[in-house]
Amino acid sequence: MTVPEHQTVEGSDAQLHVEIHQPDEGTGPDGPTRPVLLLHGFASSSKLNWYDAGWLTALSGAGRRVITVDLPGHGRSGSPDELDAYAPSRMRADILQVLYDSHVRPFEEGNAASGVDLIGYSLGARLAWEFGATQPELVHRMVLGGPSTQDPLADFDLAGAQKYLADGTRMSDEQSYSLLKMAQMVPSNNIFSLLSMIEAIKSEPFTPSEAVPHMPMLLVAGEKDELAATMTDLAGLSPKAETLVLPARSHTNAVTSRAFKNAAIDFLAEHP
């Protein structure tokens, strides 16, 4: 069963589309189970990263309750006018409210119904890292896909993208151009809101060494994922981090890997 959720943060509507997916009948233990929160990547959505890639089916089949949220300007979420709505710190506050509204309780050792597990991909991995570091009382375990010590959006040619959208002037930075074209291919994306998100992200650089999560983490990346080339450096910041490399996979298709799903489900099931 899928249930839409609605929440506000300090009386302000974040315009986020949130859904709660109950586990398949007869697959989990009796009584409540710890939910899994899924955070998608930039220019993607819950549908693209999690529904279409088979994560909902896999997690529900493993008896897990799942919470999905579309980030601002993505998927079925709204596109706020305020730049602050797209800042990582504000998105983390919105995520915290989502969990409170979903009745997530602080993690208690030995209580399999307490806390929350996080799975984040790309931008979602950055948000999960920072959320785990700032909300350790809630997070049990995390799986970070396509992670890096740097946010690839920090080097995005924002001015070039704005000029390209205004008059068609070709962007000189090929990586930024490829990312913009990818974003334009998803009809549900609000391109101008996504550019606002990039601007807001640039104002809050990702410095993972300043706040390191202390819960167990599994970091996963495709063998051909250049954006996650520093994954081992990121893992080295935490004594509780493990890594998994997916042969022949890239940043684009690692999220569809069955080996990724199986490893994530097994990792999150350890030490309930």
Range of the domain at 243: 2-151+189-269
Assigned token pair, 6: 């609605």
Asked, for residue 109, whether it belongs to a domain, the answer is yes
Residue 232 falls within a domain, yes or no?
yes
* Beta strand extents in the chain (DSSP E only): 2-5, 8-9, 12-13, 18-21, 36-39, 66-69, 116-121, 139-145, 217-222, 241-246
Please give the Cα distance from 127 to 16 (Å, whole number): 16
Residue 176: inside a domain: no
Residue 90 included in any domain: yes
Whether residue 113 is contained in a domain is answered as yes
* In-domain check, residue 182: no
Whether 132 contacts 142, CB under 8 Å? yes
Per residue of the chain (272 residues), what is the pLDDT tens digit? 454 544 444 445 678 999 999 998 766 666 678 999 999 999 999 999 999 999 999 999 999 999 999 999 999 999 999 999 999 999 999 999 999 999 999 999 989 899 999 999 999 999 999 999 999 999 999 999 999 999 989 999 999 999 999 999 999 999 999 999 999 999 889 999 999 999 999 999 999 999 999 999 999 999 999 999 999 999 999 999 999 999 999 999 999 999 999 999 999 997 76
Residue 97 resides in a domain:
yes
Can you give the pLDDT at residue 222?
Answer: 98
Q: Cα 132 from chain centroid?
A: 12
Residue in the block written with tokens 């989990």: 28
Q: How far apart are CA 88 and CA 110, in angstroms?
A: 31
42: exposed, middle or buried (C-beta count within 10 Å: 0-12, 13-18, 19+)? buried
Helix (H, G, I), strand (E, B) or coil at 80: coil
171 in any annotated domain: no
**CATH number of the domain to which 96 belongs:** 3.40.50.1820
pTM: 0.93
CB of 255 closer than 8 Å to CB of 228: no
Count the domains in the chain. Answer: 1
Tokens for 81?
């006018």
What pLDDT was estimated at residue 118?
98
Residue 106 token pair: 């602080």
Specify the pairing of strand 12-13 against strand 36-39: unpaired
